[in-house]
A and B are shown apart, each in its own frame.
Chain A
Amino acid sequence: MIAFEQVTKRYGERLALGSVSWRMDEGECVVFLGHNGAGKTTLLRLITHEIQPTLGTVTVGTFRTGRMSRSQRALLRRTLGIIYEDFRLLNDRTVFENVALAVRITGQFANDQVEPMVLHALDQVGLDDKQHAYPNELSGGEKQRTAIARAIVNRPAVILADEPTGALQRRSAEEVLGLLKRVNEEGAALVLVTTRRGVAENMGGRVIELEDGRVRPREVAPLGRVRVAES
């Protein structure tokens, strides 16, 4: 599904990731835990091919790092569902339109197919009554649930969550984590990065700790789900 082989990423002289190797299979949940600047976001950006590794290989499904055209990169991103700490919603569109955008981007569905897909996703995150609201009319938790609906509406194989509870209060954070767990249980692989140990432990998946761009030789994970290839 996703594999990092001896991946190093440098920004000039600064090392963001140093010879990191790991892999995950379909339906798995992997949580990357680390402080700010540990390399978590770099790792996500490598998965989405926003950046290229300085050394090593990143494989996502059938896509591999290297010379990838812009249209191939777009195709790769359509196989992922991405959730950001700051939600990245379009403020001039309603909740419905924000979620519908992800469906329209695929170019695979006719107009009459879009609405039921969006309503189903909103129903899954409990926002069916807020479909006509604009993001600035929502609470932080509702915004993140909108972002989750947008991420899951196309039923991607992998969900990437970049500190999804970072901007949320405790109760909203718990709701969002519960939702992500449910999405994972329904079959989507989940890669979550966080600075909070509590979040990592709460998710119940495999935890990989990052420190200064390197994988720490320690894991907090349920028995039988530990698999980290150390650099």
Chain B
Amino acid sequence: MHFFFFREAWRSFKHHRGLAYTAIFSLTAALAVCGVFLVLAHNAELAMKLVGDRREMVVYLRDEITREQRDALMARMNELYGQVTYVSRDEAWKEFTEQVGDPALLEAVDGNPLPASLRVKLRPELLNFTKMNEAARQVADFPEVEDVRFGGEWVKRLDEIGDGLKRGALAVGSVVALAIVFVMYNTIRLTVMARRPQVEIMSRLGATDRFIATPFIVEAMLEATFASVLALAAVFGLQRAFLTQALHVAFIPWAWIGIFLGAAVCLAWLAAVIALSRVLRAVGA
């Protein structure tokens, strides 16, 4: 029986090729826009993750603290905030001289003025401005600590960019979802109207709404699948042809592709169900 519905869907597709192609190409265009945005969002996410990995808190220590006090502080910070690395005064000076490079400038500095510090690679749940700020204030209150730096403005900016991308993805996703529903709704409505005599005959022979509707729903889902695959192929071609020449851009991960295909097919199903529930009554079936 299931094969029968697929055959019916294919029959409908063949008989109304114009409508089917229009639907597929309209959906492909909408889904390709969504696909391009997914590529951008994915790469932005990768970049954010890379930058996020470098987000750290630097805790400057008082000169007078003992080794035991330092070890105790490191153990506490390891437990509360993340992975801690100790940078001694000498190591800090060595890094500084490598960064400055010019011996004339270094000679102007009288001795090593740099304090010892702890570099804290924060836990993932602390990698946002609010949490980092709160953690920095707590650490600054420890008696062994002279000062705490974490580049607050930079972190805040990163968070804003991340939020903006999420909102953008949601907006584009919503517009594309609406486009899919709109295109499929109208395509199915027109297809049923074009096959009105057949629908009426089936109804008079005692076909249930489900029996009449299933081939149209299968057709809508197949069209959405074709359109999704075409859109992904187009975005992949675009990524290969242009983007990789200028800079390294990664394609959408497999999990996202699965969600993309699934969402398109589910939306087509939803649109077809809504359209059929209305149009079958309208044709008096």
Q: Which residues of A contact B (CB under 8 A)?
A: 48, 50, 70-71, 74-80, 82, 88, 90, 92, 101-102, 104-107, 110-111, 150
> Is there contact, CB below 8 Å, between A150 and B11?
no
Q: A70-B209, A71-B209, A92-B11 are in contact. Are A105 and B204 (CB under 8 A)?
A: no
Q: Which residues of B contact A101 (CB under 8 A)?
A: 202, 205
> Is there contact, CB below 8 Å, between A150 and B209?
no
Q: Classify chain B: how many residues form its interface, as a range.
A: 10 to 19
Q: Does B1 touch A at the CB level, under 8 Å?
A: yes
Distance from A143 Cβ to chain B, minimum over Cβ atoms (Å): 13
> Is there contact, CB below 8 Å, between B1 and A111?
yes
Q: Which residues of A contact B201 (CB under 8 A)?
A: 88, 90
> Is there contact, CB below 8 Å, between A104 and B4?
yes
Q: Which residues of A contact B11 (CB under 8 A)?
A: 92
> Is there contact, CB below 8 Å, between A74 and B207?
yes
Q: Which residues of B contact A48 (CB under 8 A)?
A: 204
Q: A90-B198, A92-B15 are in contact. Are A105 and B1 (CB under 8 A)?
A: no
Q: Does B211 touch A at the CB level, under 8 Å?
A: yes
Q: Does B88 touch A at the CB level, under 8 Å?
A: no
Q: Which residues of B contact A102 (CB under 8 A)?
A: 205
Task: Indicate with 1 or 0, residue by residue over B100-114, a CB within 8 angstroms of chain A CB atoms.
Answer: 000000000000000
List 18 additional A-B contacts (Cβ < 8 Å) besides A50-B204, A77-B206, A111-B3: A50-B284, A71-B208, A71-B209, A77-B203, A77-B205, A78-B206, A80-B206, A88-B201, A92-B11, A92-B15, A104-B1, A104-B211, A105-B202, A105-B206, A105-B211, A107-B1, A111-B4, A150-B205
> Is there contact, CB below 8 Å, between B211 and A107?
yes
Interface CB pairs A-B, < 8 A, 10:
A48-B204, A74-B207, A74-B209, A77-B206, A79-B206, A92-B15, A104-B4, A105-B205, A105-B206, A107-B1
Contact partner, B204, options A71, A88, A92, A106, Cβ 8 Å = A88
| Residue picked from B198, B202, B204, B211, most chain A C-beta under 10 Å | B204
Task: Indicate with 1 or 0, residue by residue over B185-220, a CB within 8 angstroms of chain A CB atoms.
Answer: 000000000000110011111111101000000000
> Is there contact, CB below 8 Å, between B206 and A75?
yes
**CA distance in complex: A88, B205 (Å):** 10
> Is there contact, CB below 8 Å, between B211 and A82?
no
Task: Indicate with 1 or 0, residue by residue over B6-48, a CB within 8 angstroms of chain A CB atoms.
Answer: 0000010001000000000000000000000000000000000
Q: Which residues of B contact A74 (CB under 8 A)?
A: 203, 206-209
Q: Which residues of A contact B15 (CB under 8 A)?
A: 92
Distance from B2 Cβ to chain A, minimum over Cβ atoms (Å): 10
